[in-house]
Chains A and B, each alone.
Chain A
């Protein structure tokens, strides 16, 4: 249902995304990986309507996303970027309540409140729900943001480097949450990741970028090979199988 066709983007004459096309499988976790400047974050930005593209299509349910009404799209596609410096005095519950904005505007219905309660409970934030966002730790804040996305109740969730600035414990938790979003709530999750092993362990598909093009798109097993990864990152790789998952060691 979400399909990218011949996407291109230039910055100051330099092509950062070059004729990228791929189809996003529904109900799966898809990770975009690649070295710095490979274009993965730009593709994510274009998918999330934050960056204007130069050419190409992003088709959602048969219609290009620029032809969608912003409000309608926001009921089906949620976006979470890495920069979330909220300047307002906002409690966790208020933040999660914003997830219902596309549906009810500023006024929430009792049904909305129920959905908000469930989202907060799902992220185990009940004890924090009346705390201000700026008083939370990075991990808690990230969970609050996810709770908002859950309240938004969309089929698709786009996450731009969700493990950024998190320690191993919180990053791993984050990845488990991503998996649950897909397995328990049936969402299609598309995320940009820097850690290859997180991508390998927690996703279904990997889309690997290099120099603005897709170097390899496929299932985890297809992408996580010594040859492919070495070619993408220009680093030597060894692949080991742990818990039936191919994990990489690089040096």
Chain B
């Protein structure tokens, strides 16, 4: 990349960072009555955890989607399209189903989350790395199988909830249907630690992303331990998706939108910039969307509706505008 392009990308990222900060501040202060300190405190108590959760979600989904796309060398796929969040929902339900909502596991949100995350990591890594190997990284096959898996996991999950004791189901529901208006506050700290750990343990692999996107053959040619690297990154992606799903529930298209917007805007192969762009876009979309939902539509329409509608249209646009898949 020549100097001019690098500098203009830096400028774009700075503008986005400023926008992000504006959105975050805006989210905290819009329509807060500053004359009464009690009201301010009350508003902050409500809004600060939400803001934090959205930042974490944007980071997890933005980073995971972009990394995932680069791993499998395709920009129209996201982890969510492969059923990763339905897998998470299924695991969460299955744990409550088999252990019972009264057990220590289900009562302690952090412990329950830890169990979910471990299970998710194991199952998803086995499943998806098997899929990729078996289909020889043929993305269309993987996408097809992923779509089938999504409804497969969904069906099992529904069956489990039907057979479940109604009281158990009631307890499960509160943690299952997370959304931006019903954020799982208990696990915020745990999420931050987990994401931090993922980034720390994968720092070497993340630095190799630029090379990985040249394809398997070139990556091996340039001395990358390809299979190990992909396995580890895939694990990181599934864990990040688990975090986001546990916090705010499934938002299928967010990753697709923000990862592709970042690629379109920055037009580079450098993942340090792309991931940052994707995370910043994620924050802007989530915070901006939530601002509109809370203050313009006064909660009548959830932000996930906007994201799904907008994301669906954008997905179609991406599919149709590509010359070859």
Contacts and interface: CB of A to CB of B under 8 A. Distances in A.
B217 interface: yes
B222 interface: yes
Interface string A42-68: 000000111000000000000000000
B194 interface: no
A48 B217 contact: yes
Interface string B48-75: 0000000000000000000000000111
Contacts of B210: 98, 106
Given A90-B269, A101-B211, A79 B217 contact: yes
B219 to A, nearest CB: 10
Interface in A31-88: 48-50, 69-75, 78-81, 83-88
Contacts of B268: 89
B214 A73 contact: no
Contacts of A75: 223
Interface in B197-225: 207, 210-211, 213-218, 220-225
A155 interface: no
Interface residues of B, number: 24
Contacts of A94: 1, 269
A105 interface: yes
Contact of B269 (A89, A101, A130): A89
Contacts of B211: 98, 101
B74 A87 contact: yes
Given A89-B267, A89-B269, A84 B221 contact: no
Given A89-B267, A101-B223, A84 B218 contact: yes
B300 interface: no
Smallest CB-CB A-B distances: 9 pairs: A74-B223, A71-B223, A88-B269, A79-B221, A81-B217, A102-B223, A70-B223, A101-B222, A89-B267
Given A79-B217, A83-B215, A98-B211, 9 more contacts: A48-B217, A50-B217, A78-B221, A84-B218, A85-B73, A88-B213, A88-B214, A94-B1, A102-B223
Interface of A: 48-50, 69-75, 78-81, 83-91, 93-94, 98-99, 101-102, 105-106, 130, 152
Interface of B: 1-2, 73-75, 207, 210-211, 213-218, 220-225, 263, 267-269
